[in-house]
Amino acid sequence: MELTGIVLIVISGALCLLVLTLIPTLLAIKRSAAAVGELATMLQGELKPTLKELAELLAELKTVGGGVAEHTDDVVRFMTALGETGTNLSTINRSVGAVTGVLNTTSLWATGAKVAGKYIVERYLKKRGGM
d(CA 22, CA 30) in angstroms, rounded, equals: 12
Report the pLDDT value the prediction gives residue 113, as an integer from 0 to 100: 87
How do the domains of the chain map onto residue ranges?
Answer: 1-70
Report the pLDDT value the prediction gives residue 130, as an integer from 0 to 100: 53
d(CA 53, CA 48) in angstroms, rounded, equals: 9
Alpha helices in the chain (DSSP H): 3-70, 72-130
pLDDT in tens, 86-123: 898 899 989 888 888 888 888 888 888 888 888 888 88
pLDDT in tens, 29-85: 999 999 999 998 888 888 888 889 999 999 888 888 777 777 788 888 888 988 899
Report the pLDDT value the prediction gives residue 12, as an integer from 0 to 100: 94
d(CA 40, CA 32) in angstroms, rounded, equals: 12
Query: Over 80: is that where the pLDDT of 22 sits?
Result: yes
Report the pLDDT value the prediction gives residue 34, as an integer from 0 to 100: 93
